[in-house]
Structure 1
Amino acid sequence: MATPVMDKSQSEPGAGGTATDTPYITATFRIRRFNPEVSDEATWEDFRIEIDPKERVLDALHKIKWEIDGTLTFRRSCAHGICGSDAMRINGRNRLACKTLIKDINPEKPITVEPIKGLTVLKDLVVDMEPFFQAYRDVMPFLITKGNEPTRERLQSPEDRERFDDTTKCILCAACTSACPVFWNDGQYFGPAAIVNAHRFIFDSRDEGGEQRLEVLNDREGVWRCRTVFNCTEACPRGIEITKAIQEVKRALITRRY
């Protein structure tokens, strides 16, 4: 196994300090590599870098890409836990690379980084998100109303808004869906994220499309496939109570009250 190494110069001496005073540690990142143009098989590659442990895994990936191997491929955008594009498996758990501090994942041992599960890997840490987004589109994640276009704002009480506040936090990172064992074994399952986004509108007092969404989720690949193992809730970087939302959708299907 090749081990590319990036050496970092020791810090410059400052007032009251010496050239050996440095916050940096040497950490090994073991990254799962896949390039369909080179091989049909994925391999693991180690990169040893010097980095401040208070930095994030995303910072380490940038160092590796910019200073060691420019072919390393991964998605990222805002780098602040909002866009959700850098979800990946870090030390066996789904996380956002931009929110995971190196010091919090035991840098004394090799830190494993691999793509999220259940979706086709296109290259390195990049997966095909189309099945995930298709499930999202299928639940109609937009306000549905009847009648003429309103002439004034649709008002809503704070209490009504609070009813679905938690599920408005979803950033579509797919961390929850790709942590679900049912999704791993059945790519047709809508998955937690789609159900969460359906919940956001089913329980919106201004919306009139609840019955349509419930019928979509009543499908054999819908909400009933959930086995309530809580992987999704544990994986969510936004702290959404996903399993609770799924149970509320199930209850609404049975009672038709929402």
Structure 2
Amino acid sequence: MVELALPKNSRMQEGKSWPRPDGAKNVTEFRIYRWSPDDDANPSIDTYYVDRDDCGPMVLDGLLYIKNKIDPTLTLRRSCREGICGSCAMNIDGANTLACTKGMDEIKGSIKVYPLPHMPVVKDLVPDLSNFYAQHRSIEPWLKTVSPEPQKEWLQSHEDRQKLDGLYECILCACCSTSCPSYWWNGDRYLGPAVLLQAYRWLIDSRDEAKGERLDNLEDPFRLYRCHTIMNCAQTCPKGLNPAKAIAEIKKMMVERRV
């Protein structure tokens, strides 16, 4: 049996435990991953106590309670608070999701919060998404045409527009890609579920005229074919999308154009 061990400087240790709020009756414990590049110390797990009667119902509300009222050094990303921007993606209670749409009532016991897995950490709950965004740009996620540009807009039938349902809703939160074991081990070459779902979105757009070029860009043993249909991506997507299905459709396109 193979045993994997973290390097000594990456092993987590017990961190600071903050006091319970005075007079609070409805309290939830948060255990949060902490690490700063400015400190010469291993990552730690700090413990906080949130007064549920003094904050909103979502995990993000609890995190903001901690940052605003207990520990202003806690670092995280957030923006829309409506499940639209994807900024607050993190690992909560062992699963990748959005802190703004995950209810505290959905979690039994203490709430454990970590940054998205297998990504470099900038600080605390903030992952470095530079490689993820570079991969997204590599598929050229914009309309490519050779036909003369129309005076108004590129027209599309209702039927063709419906083909994009289940694809355009992706918010690039990276929950799916960072839940994928294939992406963990080959993230420098395998594009991952999120980017490949975006690639398929442009491959089937009836207005786009670069299908062959786009497929050529994906024809690589690693960029596309590292998907092994583990299905973590579909299970964890906070928008209910199915990147694995999109990847399978791209593979089908690859076969069909050779026939």
TM-score, normalized by length of structure 1?
Answer: 0.89
Separation in structure 1 between the aligned mates of residue 89 and residue 40 of structure 2, nearest angstrom: 24
Kindly provide the CA deviation profile for residues 27-81 of structure 1, in whole angstroms up to 9, marking residues without a partner as x.
1100010011112521111111221497000000001001111000000001100
Corresponding residue SS for 1:225: coil
Report what 1:225 is aligned to.
Answer: 226
> Contact between 1:54 and 1:103, CA under 8 Å: does it hold in 2?
no
- The aligned residue for residue 85 of structure 1 is 87
Match of 1:63 among 58, 62, 65: 65
Following superposition, the deviation at residue 8 of structure 1 comes to 5.4
Cα distance between partner residues in 2 of 1:246 and 1:25: 45
What are the Cα deviations for residues 94-136 of structure 1, in whole angstroms up to 9, with x where unaligned?
Answer: 0100000000111xx2211000012100100001111000110
- Partner in structure 1 of residue 18 of structure 2: 4
2:186 aligned with 1:172, yes or no?
no
**Is residue 199 from structure 1 mapped to residue 213 from structure 2 by the alignment?**
no
Question: In 2, Cα distance between the equivalents of 1:8 and 1:252?
Answer: 62
Equivalence for 2:3? none
> What letter matches 1:135 in structure 2?
Q
In the alignment, is residue 33 of structure 1 matched against residue 47 of structure 2?
no
In structure 1, the partner of 2:148 is 148
Q: What letter is aligned with 1:100?
A: K
Who is 1:120 aligned against? 120
- Superposed, 1:38-57 pairs within 5 Å as 38-52=39-53, 55-57=57-59
TM-superposed deviation, 1:5: 2.7
Measured in 2, the distance between the counterparts of 1:147 and 1:161 equals 19
- Residue in 2 aligned with 1:105? 107
Paired position in structure 2 for 1:210 = 211
Structure 1: gaps of 5 or more residues: 11-23
Q: Does the 8 Å CA contact 2:56/2:62 hold for their aligned counterparts?
A: no
Q: Write the distance in 2 (CA, Å) between the matches of 1:41 and 1:240.
A: 36
Q: How does 1:4-23 map to 2 (within 5 A)?
A: 4-7=18-21, 9=23
**Counterparts in 2 of 1:149 and 1:96: CA distance versus 1, 3 Å:** same
Aligned equivalent of 1:72: 74
The worse-fitting range, judged by mean Cα deviation, of 25-34 and 207-216 is 207-216
**2-structure distance, mates of 1:242, 1:227:** 12
d(CA) in 1 for partners of 2:137 and 2:217? 11
Aligned-partner residue type, residue 250 of structure 1: K
Superimposed CA distance per residue, residues 169-222 of structure 1 (whole angstroms, 9 cap, x where no aligned partner):
000100011111011112221111110111111001110111122122222221
Gaps of 5+ in 2: 1-14
Q: For the residues of structure 2 that align with 1:117 and 1:176, how far apart are their CA atoms?
A: 11
**Could you say what secondary structure the match of 2:48 adopts?**
strand
Q: Paired residue for 2:137?
A: 137
Counterpart of 1:197, as a letter, is Q
The number of residue pairs the alignment matches comes to 242
- SS of the equivalent of 1:27 reads strand
Identical counterparts, % of pairs: 41
Residue type at the aligned position of 1:114: Y
The residue aligned with 1:158 is 158
